[in-house]
């Protein structure tokens, strides 16, 4: 407190009031993300309104699925039974369409609702988890997060063009944040058995979300094992993750493993080789 404040009660009151309402670090972080949220949503609206596209294949598949779920077209025989059966029977199962179907039911099934839903459910939370991960590994997390996002323009491309794969990316980032923790100003691994169990469940869920995320799941587990060998970390974390993921797959999604993950895609899509050779 300054000397003149000793004889000036009014000044002392204002000084304390200013100190009480001064911006705290988390206030600045909230404002930082509110600005990003506003800008990204405006860009998404402009992109959809200004675009003149014929949506097809993966651009429209999950938009169509979400509209069918919202309209009740898939309710015959039970919605949840159809969703579960689609995991092993359909190339595009219905899981990734469920969150968008809720928005379609509430706000309509327009393309704008669908894309802004992907932006706010998956893209912007991905930015948050990139920032949280940057806080663990960088001394300037906001700058590191911005650079990371700018180096990965495909994130916004996926969301703006209607690819639900951006939801799988969010799951990947959650796994990284669960694996790495910061303790005593040092980055560490683990933090509890529940973290490894949850990672195992998330690895399975991202495979169900879009089956090609199986490549990430295998890579993540391989990296965990390499981390144990190279840095002499305890092996039980990787073992728990593998056991949990394998147990969930075999117990609940055995048909998905045999009919989708272990399918001979090289032979199935061999026709693409002909077009490459003749173009």
User: pLDDT digit string (tens) for 233-247?
Assistant: 788 889 999 999 999
| Average pLDDT, rounded, for the chain | 85
Of 2 and 75, the structure prediction assigns the larger pLDDT to 75
Of 139 and 5, the structure prediction assigns the larger pLDDT to 139
Non-local CB neighbours of 142 within 8 Å, separated by 6+ positions: 29, 32, 131, 134
DSSP letter assigned to residue 183: E
Q: Note whether 153 and 163 are within 8 A (CB).
A: no
Q: Note whether 202 and 171 are within 8 A (CB).
A: yes
CA distance 199 to 177: 10
CA distance 133 to 119: 20
Please compute the mean of the pLDDT values over residues 97-116 and round it to a whole number: 94
Has residue 190 got a pLDDT over 70?
no
pLDDT bracket for residue 57 (50, 70, 90): confident
pLDDT bracket for residue 201 (50, 70, 90): very high
Task: Supply 1's token pair.
Answer: 């407190």
Has residue 21 got a pLDDT over 60?
no
Please compute the mean of the pLDDT values over residues 34-58 and round it to a whole number: 89
Please compute the mean of the pLDDT values over residues 19-46 and round it to a whole number: 83
pLDDT number for residue 1: 47
Task: Supply 191's token pair.
Answer: 């933090």
pLDDT number for residue 20: 56
Radius of gyration from C-alpha coordinates of the chain: 24
pLDDT number for residue 181: 82
Helix ranges restricted to H, the chain? 9-20, 25-50, 61-71, 79-89, 98-107, 111-118, 124-137, 141-151, 154-160, 165-179, 193-209, 214-230, 236-252, 254-256, 265-268, 271-278
Task: Name which of 172, 171, 190 is nearest 234 in CA terms.
Answer: 190
| Beta partners for residue 224, in sequence order | none
Task: Name which of 124, 100, 54 is nearest 209 in CA terms.
Answer: 100
Q: Note whether 79 and 69 are within 8 A (CB).
A: yes
pLDDT number for residue 252: 93
Task: Supply 202's token pair.
Answer: 């998330």
Please compute the mean of the pLDDT values over residues 158-163 and round it to a whole number: 93
Of 17 and 198, the structure prediction assigns the larger pLDDT to 198
Which H or E run includes 188? strand 186-189
User: pLDDT digit string (tens) for 244-266?
Assistant: 999 999 999 988 888 777 676 67
């Amino acid at each position: 407190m300054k000397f003149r404040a000793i004889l000036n009660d009014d000044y002392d009151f204002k000084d304390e009031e200013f100190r009480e309402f001064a911006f705290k670090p988390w206030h600045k972080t909230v404002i930082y993300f509110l600005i990003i949220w506003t800008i990204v949503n405006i860009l998404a609206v402009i992109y959809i309104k200004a675009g003149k596209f014929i949506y097809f294949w993966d651009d429209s598949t999950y938009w169509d699925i979400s509209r069918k779920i919202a309209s009740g077209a898939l309710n015959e025989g039970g919605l949840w039974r159809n969703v579960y059966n689609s995991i092993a029977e359909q190339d595009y199962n219905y899981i990734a369409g469920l969150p968008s179907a809720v928005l379609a039911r509430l706000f309509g099934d327009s393309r704008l609702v669908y894309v802004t839903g992907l932006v706010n459910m998956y893209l912007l939370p991905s930015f948050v988890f990139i920032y949280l991960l940057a806080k663990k590994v960088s001394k300037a997390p906001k700058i590191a997060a911005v650079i990371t996002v700018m180096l990965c323009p495909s994130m916004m491309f996926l969301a703006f063009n209607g690819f639900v794969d951006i939801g799988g990316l969010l799951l990947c980032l959650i796994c990284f944040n669960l694996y790495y923790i910061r303790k005593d100003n040092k980055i560490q691994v683990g933090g509890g058995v529940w973290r490894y169990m949850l990672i195992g469940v998330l690895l399975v869920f991202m495979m169900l979300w879009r089956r090609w995320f199986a490549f990430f799941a295998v890579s993540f587990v391989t990296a965990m094992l390499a981390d144990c060998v190279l840095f002499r970390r305890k092996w039980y974390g990787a073992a728990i993750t593998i056991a949990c993921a394998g147990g969930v797959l075999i117990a609940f999604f055995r048909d998905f493993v045999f009919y989708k993950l272990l399918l001979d895609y090289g032979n199935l899509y061999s026709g693409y080789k002909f077009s490459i050779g003749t173009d």
